[in-house]
Structure 1
Amino acid sequence: MDFTLSETQRMLAETTDRLMRERYGFEERKKILAGPDGFSRALWATFAELGVTGLGIDEEYGGLNGTMGDLAVVAEAFGRALVVEPYMPTIVLGAGTLSLAGSDAQRTELLPQVAAGDLFLALAHGEPKSRYTLCHVDTRAEPDGADHLLTGAKAVVLGGDAADQFLVSARTAGTATDPHGISLFLVPKNAPGLTIRAYPNIDGTRAADLRLDRVRVPASARIGEPGQALPIVAHAVDRAIAYLCAEAVGAMQALNALTLDYLKTRTQFGVPIGSFQVLQHRMVDMEVALEQARSMAILAADRADDPHPHERSRAVSAAKVQIGRSGRLIGQSAVQMHGGIGITEEYAGGHYFKRLTLIDRTFGDADHHLARFAAAN
């Protein structure tokens, strides 16, 4: 496997990093979080101008036809800056699912709008009782003539408060945990019968819970073949996990740098605390954990679009396990070496730890993916 970035990826990394340095400092991020949307629509427009919102979309739909490796470059930069804009929900999950299974008409209508920065999407699949089990879907889609009526609840829909369109999974056949019989439907945010309850997550990103009460959708709103949505959702989630692994690497890198700088400047007994051997050893452990996470994140990005689901899921789960373990070690060590300041709202260190913690829990924690990896062998 070639770990070096291509020339295009190097340019993408430089451009994204420069934008983050100039427009996304910690103080600027706090102002964005305090805004009415919880993210910056002006910055999202800048993403679109740079082509970042079209990175994972085919050229025929106004995108740049980027790979998962290209998206991982952006993810690392966003992780270092603690970006709260709904990039993964819209670009990786939403547009990614449409690219995988959408009809020509759906792709032609929606993907150019996403690439232009004019449309936000969210995948509404998880439910209150499903935990990390992707095949657990209680929401029902009852036929009514040529239409379907959707009834049920969706939980922790990432980016759900900003979404203009939801990609909602619902059962057209089978029982709650049957892997077959799940279908996907496009539902606009203003659909009659749809209730959206938005809230912030612990790390500043946002999510929403949905309640669907006989929400009517036409036949043209169905994404892919009826009853065959689970493999599509599983692929989209694996790609999202690969993105999150890369984002976590960026956050770990920034937190390590922040901690090292603190060890060099904080004094005790008249000397920098970084001169204490025990703290030097802790810092080395953090750097080792970062490099372990980086290598597995590269593997996940490389395998995220593997046509063999078995191999793809094994690689993604292995990466998620390492990301969870490294994130916990780095986050806890950073907070312990900083002391009380490490968990204050005014200091960036604690916010990195919060983001790493939520990444570990998103789409399955390290324990879940360790069991998934073991079952696949």
Structure 2
Amino acid sequence: MKPDLPPVSPIAFHPMNTETPLQSRLKLPDGTMVGQVCPDPAKLDDYCQSKFGRSWRSIEWFCLRSLATRIEALRGRLSPLEALIKQGQSAESIDAVTDDIWEALGAAYSDGSTAALILISKFSLAKGTGSMEGAIMAADLGNVAAYCFLGDHYLSKEQVEQAAAAYQQGMAKGCSACEYQLGQFAERGVGGQLKSVRAAFDHYAEATMGNYPPAWVAIARLWLSDPGELPRPERLVEKLKECIEMRCEGAATALAEIYLAHDQSSDTKRMVMSLYRGAAVGGDIETQLKLASLLEGEGASEMEIEPDPEEALRWYERVYSSENASPAQAILAHLKLGHLFMGKNQYDPAAHHFSFVSKTYPEAVELRKICKEKGENLRRWRQHNTGGECL
């Protein structure tokens, strides 16, 4: 049986979003590199005061801000190009557009950014060259985020042992995202780890020490699954509220479960529904699925709401069309839409959605066949009743 592998680390909270550049490569106001003119960090402030009349801290702050702005701009330029390649555009056809980007990434690395090396590997993979040299070099130079990038790459290729090794290296260097991923592995018993809820809980607890939002969601879920055996994390409700503000997926549903576990009053249920709607509008895919399920009728009476299949349909459509939905979430949305359209006697769209999920849900094969037959019968009936004109 194929192992139940976790997804890669949440992109919104990837440690690559922050970095500590190579100090020796930072440029001073006269264009010289720090390491060339003042290799002793203890003497940097005196050198900057005498040479430029400014403290090293103020110069460093300017350098870091400038690098961060450049890297963010390069990410923004690379994202649409990666999307084009995923949609079938040949990598060669955009070479002319990317030449200056490669040059800009090289310049950013020359000025101290190791994140530029990770971006070089990231785009190389998107183009199909498969080069990981940049990310490996970034890791060797002390960029902790590189271990998470490497682990995510191996995991996406289902090279689980290599992924675990990369995450473990990152964890040893203080990477909260790597710690979180190892918690995911422990929950599932993959990557050389025994399946252990307690081990997963401990990984997530350590990741929360680095204020990693997805870890707060994961540890809340584990605690809710067995509050008698697992200790309740301190300030859990407060932290989940912060996660919601940061648009961390799943935070709203976890907080809602905590509220409902302690109070089943009508006021609490109304507050929970408001929480679901707010997070769903904000783009939380998991909450969109939860809200759609309730509106479809699953648990509607318990939450004291009226089912609304039409609104449920719109939320499911929003999920499968979102670029942020995982493959599993998109497939579930297609399955739900298939059933909703089938219930409305709209057999053609139902068959269309069932066709997307037949490999994951074998029953969808038969359902698609039924819908195609009923759709054809319905067309014949309409043709017969309109005097030969097919509507």
Normalising by the smaller structure, the TM-score range is: under 0.3
Say which structure is richer in helix: 2
**Higher relative contact order (CA closer than 8 Å, sequence separation 6+):** 1
Superposition TM-score, scaled by structure 1 size: 0.22
The structure with more radius of gyration: 2
